[in-house]
Structures are given as structure tokens and as C-alpha cells.
Amino acid sequence: MPGLDHWWYNKNKMFSFLSLKQEAFGLDINDLSLKIIKLKKKRKGFSSVSFGFTEIEPGIIEEGMIKKEDALSKIIKTACKNVEGKKLDTKYVIASLPEEKSFLQIIQMPRMKEEELKTAVFFEAENYIPLPISEVYLDFQVVASTKNYIDHLNVLIVAIPKKIVNSYFSCLKKAGLIPLALEVEAEAIARALVKEGTSSSPIVLIDFGRTNTDFIVFYGHSVCFTCSIPVSSQQLTDAISEKLKISFDKAENLKIKFDLVEKTKNSKSKEILKAMLPVLEELIAQIKKYLNFYQEHASHKHFFPAGKVEKIFLCGGGANLKGLPEFISKNLGISAELGIFWTDFLPKAYMRRQEKNKNNFKEPLIFTTAVGLALKKIDYKT
């Protein structure tokens, strides 16, 4: 799948383009956790060599902004030492940048030579990015289209505030790592969930996480639209805790066992459902809003053909709420299902061990972004 070029640090320029030749692992950093995956290619698919999940205390990262660099770098360093599977034998990493702090869009550019395009894109991007160009790192890629357009190019631009990128880069360096690439979550998620990096019809990818939800539209060979939705799986747990007047841990355990589509519910189950419904209804409302927004305002209609999205793929820890795909399908009228191709990534022994401790069960779908980052390093066409 086509991917954005990468930012890299050197003495002459803070970030420039670099081909990936070194062994590297994927590192997904969120407000409350980080995930590590290092993959190896097999005859059919891939399997994990090293993997890990580590909690991050609240306040170290807030809404994608690193508040305590030294604390985070220590957590990263410790997590890398304590991975399961094979010991990490490389310092090279491909890490995530927060979706809620990034800006991604496809723009049209007249056909021109590559050198001319590099200059022209930066001038044109000023019309789309809500921050001064001087305050962001900007990257772009010409996107292969499902149609042949003679008069223009479709260009995917990504911009992230410099202060955000610099802080993540600094933490990785303090942890003793060498960043090969920093990538927004949407690109990594799409690489992990979209088979062979292409889709003949528009699909939506929803990363239902602990602190927010990423909404991603993918069509053809590229991510077309992204946004961050202020609804999270932790809000479901908080709602249960408040409604039933129980601890957060007990509420989390009830949420894990609860089934949205179970027909026969006792009084306690009905209370749980009643507590969660406002959050779930807000999630549905937000998804509808952004689907409508994109359909009405997308600047490239050929990237979003007439008609509704036919498929939604769910990932993130919140996606494991029993019955959530069916709930979304029913309320949106669009087929929703969990992201696929996970069985080869985490060893069966790990899955069996995790299943014995449901309160701390780390479902494979929480590793979606980390897997996408790790796949960026692997040439899966050979």
C-alpha cells in the first residue's frame, strides 16, 4: 500500500525523507498506554517476534500532548526491555503520532514535474491547513487513483504541529531509540486493516479507544478523511461506575462481560445498558455526522462515489464490547465488523494466558496501530 514519506532528524534539517532498510519495531503511543510489535514474515502472512502492552499514568500525555517527557521516555525504555517473546534486538522504531493533533486531506494539483510539485504543494497546502505553514511539519504523497485523470494529480497531505512532533521525537531519543519514521495513526490503522492496501468501494475504519475514537474514510489506495471523535470506551466504564455506584475496576469487569445484543437481560443487565446507552448513542450520532460531512464537503467527489459506505471495520480496545458491531450495523444501516487477520500476530500461549485473567485481558485489536506501524517496515510484496 502506498505510504507517506518519512520525517527524519539530521544536522541540516529537522525532518527529511528516508528509505527504511534497518530492522525496526512498531510503537503505538496513546494517552494511557503504549503497544509494541515487531513482526517477521512467514510463508503465509506474518507473526510477532516481540510484543508488549504498558499502561501510562494519567497526566503524562493529555489529548496527544506530552506533558512529562522524562516520565514517558522512562516508560518507553522499560517497556522495550520487558517485551514478551524475543528480546528486542534493534533500537530502530516506527512510532505513532496522535491522530487528534494531525491534519490529513487529499487535494488536487495540476500535473507537473516532481520538483515543481514539491514547491507547489507547500503553497497550496496553506489554503487547507488551519495553522501557519511555519508551525507545522508537512508531508505529502501523490495518490494512485482508481481512475485515470489527465488534467490533475490527487495529493495526500499530512500536517502536524512542530511542537507535537518534536516532543515525541525527543522522548524516543531519550529512551535510547532511533526513530526511522513517525506516522499518524490513521495511516497505520489502514495498513493493518485494508487488505493489500486497496478498496474498490469506500470503507470506514473506526478505532474505538480508551480516550477517544478515530474516524477514518478509506477509498481506492488511500486514507481520504480523518477526524477524532470525543467518545471513548472509558466513558462507558465511567457511566457504569456512576450509575451502579461501584468502583471503576468492577465497572470495567461488568462491561467486558456485557453483551449488547443479548435478548434476555436481567435487571442488572438492564441497568448496565441504560448507563451505557447515552455514550453509545453519542458515538452513533458522531459517526453519522462525519459521514454526512464528508459526503457533502469532500473536495474530490471521485474519491467518494455516490451511495453509502458499505463496510465499517472496528478496532481498538473498545471494539471488543460484545455486540458492538451488530449495534452499529443496526443503527447506521451499514455492515460493521471487527478488524481481521489477527490470529497470526499474537502467540496462542499469550492469548490463553490473557483469557485466564479477564480483568486484564489485552485483546488483539488493541495492537492494530502497532501492527500497522510494524508492517510499514516489511516489504510484504516480496
The mean pLDDT values, 10 residues at a time, for the chain of 382 residues are: 36 38 88 92 77 94 95 97 92 93 84 83 84 88 67 84 95 95 92 84 90 89 87 95 95 91 80 94 95 69 56 91 94 89 53 52 78 77 38
Amino acid at 381: K
* pLDDT given at position 1: 34
The letter for the amino acid at 219 is: Y
Angle 162-174/69-81 helices, nearest 10 degrees?
A: 50
Q: Measuring CA to CA, which residue among 239, 242, 203 is closest to residue 219? A: 203
Q: How far apart are CA 274 and CA 239, in angstroms?
A: 9
Contact 63, 128 (CB under 8 A): no
Q: What is the pLDDT of residue 310?
A: 80
**Given its phi and psi angles, is residue 220 left (phi above 0), alpha (psi -120 to 50 degrees) or beta?**
left
The secondary structure of residue 288, as a DSSP letter, is H
Nearest one of 189, 264, 248, 244 to 222, comparing CA atoms: 189
Closest CA to 85 of 39, 49, 40: 49
Convert 6-69 into a string of H (helix), E (strand) and C (coil).
CCCCCCCCCCCCCCCCCCCEEEEECCCEEEEEEEEECCCCEEEEEEEEEECCCCCEECCEECCH
